[in-house]
A and B are shown apart, each in its own frame.
Chain A
Amino acid sequence: MNVTAMNVTAMNVILSSIRNCAKNLLLVSGLLFASLALAAGSAEKGKTAYVKHGCWQCHGFMGQGAVTGPKLAPNPIPPEAFSAFVRFSAGGMPPYQKAILSDEDLADIHAYLQSQSKAPDYKSIPLLNP
Chain B
Amino acid sequence: MKRDDRHPDVSRRKFLAGVAVAGAATAVTPSSANAATEAATPTAAPAPRPSALPPSMHVAAAETSTPKELPRIGGVAGSDFMVDVIKTLDIKYLPANPASSFRAIHESLINYGGNKMPEFLTCAHEESAVAMGHGYFKLTGKPLLTLCHGTVGLQHATMAIYNAWCDRVPVIVMGGNDLDAAHRPPGVPTFHSAQDINAIVRDFTKWDDTPVSLQHFAQSFVRAYKVAMTPPYGPVAISLDAGLQQEPIHENGEKLYIPRYVASSPPQGDTGAVKEAARLLANAQNPVIVADRAARTENGVRLLVQLAEVLQAPVVDQGNRMNFPNTHYLHRPPTVIGNADVVLGLELSDFWATVNSYFDNGEHGIGVNTTRIKPGTKLISINSAELLTKSNYQDFQRFQTVDVSMPADAEATLPALIEAVKAAIPNDRKAAIEKRGEAAKKAFAEGRERAKQAAAVAWDASPISTARLSMELYAQIKDLDWSLVSSSGNVSNWPNRLWPMEKHYHWLGASGGYGVGYGAPASVGAALANRDLGRSSVSIQSDGDLMYAPGVLWTAAKHKIPLLSVMHNNRGYHQEVMHVQRLSNFRNRVANLGGDMGPVGTSIQNPDVEYHKLAESMGWWAKGPIKDPAQLGAALREAVKVVQAGQPALLNVWTQPR
CA of A130 to CA of B474 in the docked complex: distance in angstroms?
9
Q: Is A130 a contact partner of B577 (Cβ separation < 8 A)?
A: no
> Residues of A contacting B350 with CB < 8 Å?
7, 9
Determine which of A14, A71, A127 lies in contact with B457 in the assembled complex, contact meaning CB atoms within 8 Å. Answer: A71
CB distance from B349 to the nearest CB of A (A): 8
Determine which of B456, B585, B593 lies in contact with A128 in the assembled complex, contact meaning CB atoms within 8 Å. Answer: B456
**Given A94-B585, A125-B459, A130-B478, A4-B466 contact (CB < 8 Å):** no
B-contact bits for A84-104, CB 8 A (1 contact / 0 none): 000001111111110110000
> Residues of A contacting B186 with CB < 8 Å?
none
A-contact bits for B571-602, CB 8 A (1 contact / 0 none): 00111111001101110111101000111000
User: Counting CB contacts under 8 A, is B453 at the interface?
Assistant: yes
> Residues of A contacting B159 with CB < 8 Å?
1
User: Counting CB contacts under 8 A, is B76 at the interface?
Assistant: no
Known pairs A12-B335, A95-B361 / 15 extra A-B pairs, C-beta < 8 Å: A1-B517, A2-B515, A5-B490, A10-B358, A12-B333, A14-B357, A57-B598, A60-B656, A64-B457, A65-B454, A94-B581, A122-B453, A122-B455, A127-B472, A130-B471
User: Counting CB contacts under 8 A, is A31 at the interface?
Assistant: no
Chain B, Cβ-Cβ closest to A118: B457
CA of A62 to CA of B360 in the docked complex: distance in angstroms?
25
Chain A, Cβ-Cβ closest to B368: A90
Q: Is A54 a contact partner of B581 (Cβ separation < 8 A)?
A: yes
B-contact bits for A1-31, CB 8 A (1 contact / 0 none): 1111111111011101100000000000000
> Residues of A contacting B368 with CB < 8 Å?
90
Q: Is A57 a contact partner of B585 (Cβ separation < 8 A)?
A: no
Determine which of A8, A16, A52 lies in contact with B335 in the assembled complex, contact meaning CB atoms within 8 Å. Answer: A16
Determine which of A2, A4, A6, A130 lies in contact with B475 in the assembled complex, contact meaning CB atoms within 8 Å. Answer: A130
> Residues of B contacting A56 with CB < 8 Å?
597, 657
Q: Is B577 a contact partner of A57 (Cβ separation < 8 A)?
A: yes
> Residues of B contacting A52 with CB < 8 Å?
593
Q: Is A67 a contact partner of B493 (Cβ separation < 8 A)?
A: yes
Q: Is B456 a contact partner of A121 (Cβ separation < 8 A)?
A: yes
Chain B, Cβ-Cβ closest to A4: B575
User: Counting CB contacts under 8 A, is B424 at the interface?
Assistant: no
User: Counting CB contacts under 8 A, is B430 at the interface?
Assistant: no
Residues of A within 8 A of B (CB): 1-10, 12-14, 16-17, 51-52, 54, 56-58, 60-62, 64-68, 71, 74, 89-97, 99-100, 119-122, 125, 127-130
User: Counting CB contacts under 8 A, is B354 at the interface?
Assistant: yes
Chain A, Cβ-Cβ closest to B574: A57
> Residues of A contacting B573 with CB < 8 Å?
2, 4
User: Counting CB contacts under 8 A, is B353 at the interface?
Assistant: yes
CB distance from B53 to the nearest CB of A (A): 61
CA of A46 to CA of B363 in the docked complex: distance in angstroms?
30
Q: Is A58 a contact partner of B575 (Cβ separation < 8 A)?
A: no
> Residues of B contacting A6 with CB < 8 Å?
575
User: Counting CB contacts under 8 A, is B641 at the interface?
Assistant: no
Determine which of B360, B449, B478, B657 lies in contact with A66 in the assembled complex, contact meaning CB atoms within 8 Å. Answer: B657
| Residue from the set B159, B358, B456 with the largest chain A CB neighbour count within 10 Å | B456
Residues of B within 8 A of A (CB): 159, 318-319, 333-335, 350, 353-354, 357-361, 368, 372, 449, 452-459, 461, 463, 465-466, 468, 471-472, 474-475, 478, 490, 492-493, 498, 510, 513-517, 544, 573-578, 581-582, 584-586, 588-591, 593, 597-599, 656-658
CA of A60 to CA of B577 in the docked complex: distance in angstroms?
13
> Residues of A contacting B586 with CB < 8 Å?
94
**Given A58-B658, A66-B657, A90-B361, A122-B452 contact (CB < 8 Å):** yes
> Residues of A contacting B361 with CB < 8 Å?
89-95
Chain A, Cβ-Cβ closest to B452: A122
> Residues of A contacting B372 with CB < 8 Å?
13
> Residues of A contacting B656 with CB < 8 Å?
60-62, 64, 66
CA of A121 to CA of B442 in the docked complex: distance in angstroms?
21
> Residues of A contacting B515 with CB < 8 Å?
1-3
CA of A84 to CA of B589 in the docked complex: distance in angstroms?
19
Q: Is B458 a contact partner of A60 (Cβ separation < 8 A)?
A: yes
> Residues of A contacting B461 with CB < 8 Å?
60-62, 64
Chain B, Cβ-Cβ closest to A95: B585
CB distance from B654 to the nearest CB of A (A): 11
Q: Is A8 a contact partner of B493 (Cβ separation < 8 A)?
A: yes
> Residues of B contacting A5 with CB < 8 Å?
490, 510, 514, 516, 575
> Residues of B contacting A95 with CB < 8 Å?
361, 585
> Residues of B contacting A91 with CB < 8 Å?
359, 361
Q: Is B458 a contact partner of A100 (Cβ separation < 8 A)?
A: no
Q: Is B353 a contact partner of A7 (Cβ separation < 8 A)?
A: yes
Q: Is A60 a contact partner of B465 (Cβ separation < 8 A)?
A: yes
> Residues of B contacting A1 with CB < 8 Å?
159, 515-517
Chain A, Cβ-Cβ closest to B348: A9
> Residues of B contacting A16 with CB < 8 Å?
334-335
Determine which of A8, A54, A66, A122 lies in contact with B456 in the assembled complex, contact meaning CB atoms within 8 Å. Answer: A122
Q: Is B475 a contact partner of A127 (Cβ separation < 8 A)?
A: yes
CA of A54 to CA of B591 in the docked complex: distance in angstroms?
9
CB distance from B493 to the nearest CB of A (A): 6
